[in-house]
């Protein structure tokens, strides 16, 4: 070690003891404490997913707000913004995927706090932004976009310069609290399984092998399957619906799942890209899709006169047909949909 002149050494000691003994005001702002069990790998950078629906504040948004409050104290953090009436949904705030952290860029302490957090977020190729599912951040006239990460911070051209708050928008995975910060898993399908309850979920424990699905990554569990694409996110099928979907190859008719299984009066259901599978104890699990599903949905789904489906759609006498508890529905290119009840 290079020898310091005596005066400089004394000064260094004085500065050091000042750092050690002075109150927190002059200390650097803290950074969020990483949860135990984070994998070494990080999640992919979030793609751009604009807001399309109105929704309440989502779990990952709430968790991130709590993480900021825990780390930095009681600053005001807003998450919810009501959807515009008669206007387009145009903000992740409307979809419950954004928060505003009220800091003043003109206040040195606030500015240092924001800088410390944002440096932490974007260090190491944006490792923590990836782990949290941050899609973009706006602060003090600049914006960082995960989907333009190579450009780094860019001037922000929007009407509000964001000098009074840090805006954070999350990806759908991040907002679902299904990124590795929250689940300890970087694989989206596996993270969804963790979020559903892992080994205690309806899916049970992981198993090897299982069928492949075109364009989707799939993970098999004892009692079901989680399928993931960027468009559909990670969604699960299980139980009788999952068995029908996988064993009868229903993906060709209805596509990939866009919901997990959910309860309906008298049974269970899953929605898919182009159709649905409905199950009840008496009817078993059957798919309904296309124009026949539209007609069935228009008549009240399983709660209407047709009730639950009792067959998959198939060709009977030259027309497409689905049977239901209360009748049947046919479709042909020439005649369109006919509903037969009673």
Which lies closer to Zn ion via its Cβ, residue 133 or residue 267? 133
Minimum distance between the CB of residue 167 and Zn ion, rounded to whole angstroms?
Answer: 4
Minimum distance between the CB of residue 114 and Zn ion, rounded to whole angstroms?
Answer: 14
CA dist., res. 80 & res. 74, Å (int): 17
Which lies closer to Zn ion via its Cβ, residue 49 or residue 100? 100
Which lies closer to Zn ion via its Cβ, residue 100 or residue 260? 100
Minimum distance between the CB of residue 262 and Zn ion, rounded to whole angstroms?
Answer: 31
Which lies closer to Zn ion via its Cβ, residue 51 or residue 295? 51
Which lies closer to Zn ion via its Cβ, residue 100 or residue 287? 100
DSSP structural state of residue 28? P
How many residues touch Zn ion under the rule CB under 5 A: the total is: 2
Task: Answer whether 279's CB lies under 8 Å from 285's CB.
Answer: yes
As a whole number of Å, the CA-based R_g of the chain is: 26
Minimum distance between the CB of residue 116 and Zn ion, rounded to whole angstroms?
Answer: 20
Q: In 10 A of CB 153, how many CB atoms?
A: 15
Task: Answer whether 268's CB lies under 8 Å from 236's CB.
Answer: no
HSE-up (13 A, CA, CB side) for residue 195: 26
Nearest to 254 by CA among 301, 213, 299, 300: 213
CA dist., res. 199 & res. 55, Å (int): 29
Minimum distance between the CB of residue 110 and Zn ion, rounded to whole angstroms?
Answer: 16
Binding to Zn ion by CB under 5 A, coded x per residue (else -) over 73-102, reads: ---------------------------x--
- The answer to whether 167 contacts Zn ion (rule: CB under 5 A) is yes
* Binding interface with Zn ion (CB under 5 A): 100, 167
């Amino acid at each position: 070690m290079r020898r310091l002149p005596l005066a400089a050494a004394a000064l260094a000691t004085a500065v050091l003891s000042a750092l050690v003994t002075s109150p927190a005001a002059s200390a650097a702002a803290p950074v969020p404490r990483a949860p135990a069990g984070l994998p070494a790998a990080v999640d992919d950078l979030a793609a751009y997913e604009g807001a399309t629906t109105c929704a309440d504040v989502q779990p990952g948004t709430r968790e991130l707000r709590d993480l900021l409050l825990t780390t930095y104290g009681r600053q005001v953090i807003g998450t919810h913004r009501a959807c515009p009436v008669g206007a387009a949904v145009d903000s992740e705030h409307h979809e419950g995927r954004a928060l505003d952290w009220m800091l003043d860029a003109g206040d040195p302490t606030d500015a240092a706090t924001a800088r410390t957090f944002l440096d932490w977020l974007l260090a190491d190729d944006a490792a923590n932004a990836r782990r949290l599912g941050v899609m973009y951040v706006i602060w003090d006239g600049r914006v960082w976009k995960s989907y333009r990460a190579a450009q780094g911070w860019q001037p922000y051209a929007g009407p509000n310069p964001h000098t009074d708050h840090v805006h954070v928008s999350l990806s759908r995975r991040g907002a679902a609290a299904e990124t590795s910060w929250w689940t300890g898993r970087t694989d989206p399908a596996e993270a969804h399984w963790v979020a559903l309850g892992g080994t205690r979920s309806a899916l049970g424990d992981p198993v090897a092998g299982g069928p492949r699905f075109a364009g989707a990554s799939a993970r098999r569990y004892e009692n079901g399957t989680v399928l993931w694409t960027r468009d559909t996110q990670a969604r699960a099928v299980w139980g009788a619906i999952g068995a029908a979907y996988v064993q009868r190859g229903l993906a060709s008719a209805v596509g990939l799942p866009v919901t997990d299984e959910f309860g309906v009066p008298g049974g269970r259901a899953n929605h898919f890209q182009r159709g649905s599978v409905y199950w009840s104890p008496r009817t078993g699990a059957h798919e309904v899709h296309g124009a026949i599903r539209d007609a069935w949905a228009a008549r009240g789904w399983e709660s209407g006169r047709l009730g639950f489906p009792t067959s998959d759609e198939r060709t009977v006498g030259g027309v497409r047909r689905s049977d239901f508890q209360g009748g049947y529905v046919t479709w042909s290119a020439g005649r369109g949909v006919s509903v037969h009840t009673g």
